[in-house]
Structure formats: C-alpha cells, structure tokens
C-alpha cells in the first residue's frame, strides 16, 4: 500500500507548497498572523494548507481519519483519537514562527499511522524542494535516494536541544550536563529541519520536551529507518497518540545511549 500512496502524497504536498505556502512566504499581512499560545503561531497559510492537504489525503485514502494541527487547535478532542485506527497526521507548516518571520527553515510534514504505529512519513522543504520520506521496514530516502544516518565529524557530538518549552532550571541543567561531552547548539525551531539534520550528519542528538504527533510522527520514522535511534526518554518506542512529554533522537544507537546517560541517568 505504501508504494501506491507515495506518488500521490508527494504530488499533493508539492502542489500545496507551490500554490499555498510559497506565495505567502515573506508576503503575510499582520492580520494574517496570530498566536495560539506563547511561542505558538498560526498563519492564514497554515489554515489553507491544512484544508487542502486534508481534502487531498481524504481522496487518496478515504478509509483513514485525519489529525491536523490546526483542526486540533480548534477542537482538542480530535487529538484523543490520534492513536486509534488508521490516521493521516498533518503539519501544514512546521516552523510557523520562522515562516511568519519570513525566514527558513519551515516545512510540510505528513505521516500515516495505524493504531499509533507510524507506517510512512514525508517531510517537504517547500523552499528548496528537498523531500525526505520513510516507510516502516522500507528505509529512509532523500530526494528518492536511500540514505543511512551518519554522525557528525566534530570534536564533540552535537546536541540540539529544544529548551523553549523547558523551565529555566531544566534548561540550565541541560547546559551544565552537556559540558565536555556534547557541543550544545540551538535548534532551528522546526522539526521538519531538525530530523533531517540527525540523518545528514549535521547534528548528533536532538531532545524535544513537547511531543505532538504532527511534529514527530514522520521524523521519528525517518531517523529510525535510516539507522538512527529515536525513542522516548525511557527507551520505549514513540507511538502516535501518547500524550506525554519527552523524546530524544540520535544519529546512532551509540549516541542515543550516551545522551541518555548524560542527561537522564
């Protein structure tokens, strides 16, 4: 089934990127940007993108439900069924804060999950056209080419840690523990960019405090199918629909273990 779905899903994502997302890039009026919560933005492009993606995915696989970020913002009860049955998971624009500021990175993320297990994921950068995708048991690909995750070549492994949703004391503790073990860097505020960085040798570890399915379903599968390791902080597998904090990805199982011992032992 995944093979048959791939081409129409990619065509839909590229069409939405071309016709809805990119025409609004660096071209948003002030009234077309709003804040759902602190540091959590939405634009007219997010809303229009999600509507078109939901319609298109519903046509591609009518038996699947749709769990979209903006639909869940309007009706949080939708999120309660994210782990039940077959569902499309949609992030219409990931990295909306960047997009609204007129700067990269940002992306479109789609996943297909069955009872909480991610079967396939797609991550499109509409600005560059780069497409990352993975299928369960079928490996990871970038622009159609099979890829395996690689570690960075820095003196110390590079840890990109999402501290924006951490308390100040927790942020300070992460910085202290990183010393002499990891080089700690800022995240790009965009999971659609952060997950590829783990596979492409740019970052070695990523830690996310807030875990929502549209941000992580596609990316965790992409990292794991590339030979990296993305799990909950207790070492359990990530599953769509589990509403709890904490997720860590790494470019290799070895570095995942090192990060777990460094930050959470």
Domain boundary among 82, 112, 147: 147
Domain boundary residue among 147, 179, 207? 147
Residue 153 forms part of a structural domain: no
84 is in an annotated binding site: no
State whether 203 and 258 are in the same domain: yes
What is the predicted pLDDT for the residue at 158?
97
Query: What is the share, in percent, of the chain residues with pLDDT greater than 90?
Result: 89
9 and 79 housed in the same domain: yes
12 and 139 fall within a common domain: yes
234 annotated to a ligand binding site: no
Cis peptide before 105 (omega within 30 of 0): yes
**12 in the same domain as 142:** yes
Residue 164 inside a domain? The answer is yes
Least confident of 124-128, 162-166, 258-262: 162-166
Which pLDDT score is estimated for 103?
A: 98
Write out pLDDT tens, residues 82-113: 999 999 999 999 999 999 999 999 999 999 99
Domain ends where: 147, 176, 200?
A: 147
Residues 83 and 179 in one domain: no
Q: Is the pLDDT of residue 227 over 90?
A: yes
Query: What's the pLDDT band for 81 if we cut at 50, 70, 90?
Result: very high
Closest CA relative to residue 26, chosen from 43, 5, 1:
43
Number of domain units in the chain: 2
Going by pLDDT thresholds of 50, 70 and 90, the confidence category of residue 165 is confident
Q: Do 223 and 132 fall within a single domain?
A: no
Are residue 129 and residue 170 in the same domain, yes or no? no
Task: Round the CA-based radius of gyration of the chain to a whole number and report it.
Answer: 17
Which residues are within 8 A (CB) of 21 and not within 5 positions of it... i.e. 6 or more apart?
A: 45, 49, 93, 99, 106, 108, 126
Q: Establish if 62 belongs to a structural domain.
A: yes
Q: Above 90 in pLDDT, residue 162?
A: no
Domain identity same for 201 and 109: no
Please provide the distance, in angstroms rounded to a whole number, between the alpha carbons at the two ends of the chain: 41
- Residue 100 sits at φ, ψ, to 5 deg, of -65, -25
Whether residue 66 is contained in a domain is answered as: yes
Residues 259, 164 share a domain: yes
Residue 176 lies in a domain: yes
CATH number, domain with residue 134:
3.30.540.10
Given pLDDT bands bounded at 50, 70 and 90, which one contains residue 259? very high
Question: How sure is the predictor about 186, in pLDDT bands with cuts at 50, 70 and 90?
Answer: confident
Q: pLDDT confidence of 33, banded at 50, 70, 90?
A: very high
The pLDDT-based confidence of 176 (bands split at 50, 70, 90) is very high
Is the confidence at residue 239, as pLDDT, over 80?
A: yes
Domain boundaries, position 102: 2-147
Indicate if 187 and 94 belong to the same structural domain.
no
Secondary structure letter of residue 85 according to DSSP: S
Q: Note whether residue 120 is domain-resident.
A: yes
Looking at the structure, tell me whether residues 9 and 132 fall in a common domain.
yes
94 among the known binding-site residues? Answer: yes
Give the Cα-Cα-Cα angle 6, 12, 17 (nearest 5 degrees): 125
Q: Is 93 annotated as a binding residue?
A: yes
Report the CATH number that the domain containing residue 236 is assigned in CATH.
Answer: 3.40.190.80
Residues 140 and 20 in one domain: yes
Residue 203 lies in a domain: yes
pLDDT at 163 over 90: no
**Closest alpha carbon to 192 in 3, 17, 7:** 17
What is the arithmetic mean of pLDDT over 225-242? 98
- Answer whether residue 210 is part of any domain: yes
Q: What is the pLDDT of residues 115-141, one digit of tens each?
A: 999 999 999 999 999 999 999 999 999
Q: Considering the entire predicted model, what is its pTM?
A: 0.96
């Amino acid at each position: 089934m995944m093979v048959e779905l791939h081409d129409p899903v990619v065509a839909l994502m590229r069409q939405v990127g071309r016709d809805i997302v990119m025409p609004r890039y660096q071209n948003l009026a002030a009234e077309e940007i709003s804040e759902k919560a602190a540091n959590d933005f939405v634009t007219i492009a997010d809303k229009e993108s999600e509507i078109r993606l939901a319609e298109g995915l519903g046509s591609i696989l009518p038996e699947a439900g749709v769990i979209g970020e903006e639909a869940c913002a309007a009706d949080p009860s939708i999120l309660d069924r994210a782990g039940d049955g077959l569902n499309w998971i949609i992030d219409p624009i990931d990295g909306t804060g960047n997009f609204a500021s007129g700067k990269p990175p940002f992306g479109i993320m789609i996943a297909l999950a069955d009872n909480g297990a991610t079967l396939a994921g797609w991550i499109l950068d509409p600005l560059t056209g780069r497409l990352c995708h993975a299928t369960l048991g079928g490996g990871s690909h970038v622009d159609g080419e099979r890829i395996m995750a690689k570690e960075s070549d820095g003196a110390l492994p590079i840890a990109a840690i999402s501290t924006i949703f951490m308390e100040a004391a927790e942020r300070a503790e992460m910085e202290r523990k990183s010393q002499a073990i990891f080089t700690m860097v800022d995240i790009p505020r965009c999971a659609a960019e952060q997950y590829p960085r783990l596979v492409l040798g740019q970052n070695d570890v990523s830690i996310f405090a807030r875990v929502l399915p549209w941000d992580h379903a596609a990316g965790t599968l992409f990292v794991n199918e590339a030979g990296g390791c993305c799990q909950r902080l207790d070492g359990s597998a990530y599953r769509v629909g589990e509403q709890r904090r904490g997720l860590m990805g790494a470019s290799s199982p070895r570095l995942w273990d090192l990060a777990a011992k460094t930050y959470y032992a």
